[in-house]
Amino acid sequence: MALKSYRPTSPGLRQMIRVDRSELWKGKPEKTLVDGGHHRKNGRNHSGKITSWHRGGGHKKRYRIIDFKRKKFDVEATVERLEYDPNRTAWIALLKYADGELAYIIAPQRLKAGDKVVAAEKADIQPGNAMQIKNIPVGTLVHNVELNPGRGGQLARAAGTFIQIVGRDSGLTQIKMNSGELRVVRGECMATVGAVSNTDHSNVQLGKAGRSRWMGRRPHNRGVVMNPIDHPHGGGEGKSSGGRHPVSPWGKCAKGGKTRKNKATDKYILRRRKNKRLGK
């Protein structure tokens, strides 16, 4: 979809660039696929403490239940419509299966209303079709990739993202991600053919601070302007820069430093992602 810019009839419209959503469904979401008990956390953990700063407020949203597992095998579905989802950057597609069941999936590029999709052991290499990654040809672009069989897709779910299948070895499939990381997943993991829709999302300009507040993002404050009790960079006389290495509010290394601990899944990573700050 194309980008939209506006005549500067107000300061907020002068810099604003939006994605044209004229082809999306303009009505309400499917009522049976909306989670009524879903509520926002506003950056708080299970004990109510704020662990992600600068979150809160924002417009009320209804959570759409997305089928990340695609376990309904060998039943063809028709794409009823494409919809906007306020909970994610990608568009979503409403599917109607041959037996009448409805489901939402993340919409890939070039998928449109009326198309047929299917999840099967082996299927055509068409956008929206899902199958085990061991049955997808090398070089194919996929999204919504599982890390563990049956757990549901976890990789490449944001707008414009994709994963490329680059090889196979002893029951494992090598995949290359947008970050440059090369890793392996088990061949039984499910993946969906195609790249994720709404590729122009990265070109959006909000235009004013108010639109950021509508999305639940509060103003960001630098650590160096705080008091010592509020942030490790706080305090000092005048415009002090903290006098130490950049850290998070909890003292963890920031600005490119390594924070990942040794994990059991490290053995599946063949090549780390590129670190732009460190030039690696």
Q: What is the pLDDT of residue 251?
A: 87
Q: Is the pLDDT of residue 279 over 70?
A: no
Q: Is the pLDDT of residue 185 over 70?
A: yes
Q: What is the pLDDT of residue 37?
A: 81
Query: Token match 């006389």: residue?
Result: 237
Does any domain span residue 65? Answer: yes
Could you report the per-residue pLDDT of 210-267, keeping only the tens digit for each? 999 999 999 999 999 999 999 999 988 888 876 778 898 888 888 878 888 888 889 9
Does any domain span residue 149? Answer: yes
Radius of gyration of the chain (CA): 22
Does any domain span residue 83? Answer: yes
Q: What is the pLDDT of residue 210?
A: 96
Q: Is the pLDDT of residue 275 over 80?
A: no
Which neighbouring-strand residues pair with 117? 77
Q: Are 196 and 156 in contact (CB under 8 A)?
A: yes
Mean pLDDT of the chain: 93
Q: What is the pLDDT of residue 39?
A: 84
177-185 mean pLDDT: 94
DSSP collapsed to 3 states, 110-135 = CCCCCCEECECCCCCCCCCCEEEHHH
Does any domain span residue 142? Answer: yes
Q: Is the pLDDT of residue 97 over 70?
A: yes
Does any domain span residue 217? Answer: no
Does any domain span residue 265? Answer: no
**Number of separate helices (H) and strands (E) present in the chain:** 2, 17
Q: Are 97 and 154 in contact (CB under 8 A)?
A: no
176-181 mean pLDDT: 93
Does any domain span residue 49? Answer: no
The one-letter code for the residue type at 204 is: V
Does any domain span residue 14? Answer: no
**Number of domains, the chain:** 1
Q: Is the pLDDT of residue 64 over 80?
A: yes
Domain that includes residue 121, residue range: 24-43+55-202
Q: What is the pLDDT of residue 119?
A: 97
Could you report the per-residue pLDDT of 119-176, keeping only the tens digit for each? 999 999 999 999 999 999 999 999 999 999 999 999 999 999 999 999 998 889 999 9
Rounded to two decimals, the pTM is: 0.90
> CA–CA separation, 16 vs 13, rounded Å?
5
Name the residue with higher pLDDT: 75 or 240: 75
Q: What is the pLDDT of residue 277?
A: 54
Could you report the per-residue pLDDT of 7-46, keeping only the tens digit for each? 999 999 999 999 999 999 999 999 999 998 888 889 999 9
Q: Give the CATH number of the domain where residue 72 resides.
A: 2.30.30.30
55-70 mean pLDDT: 95
What token pair was written down for 240? 């002090």
103-116 mean pLDDT: 97
Q: What percent of the chain has pLDDT over 70?
A: 97
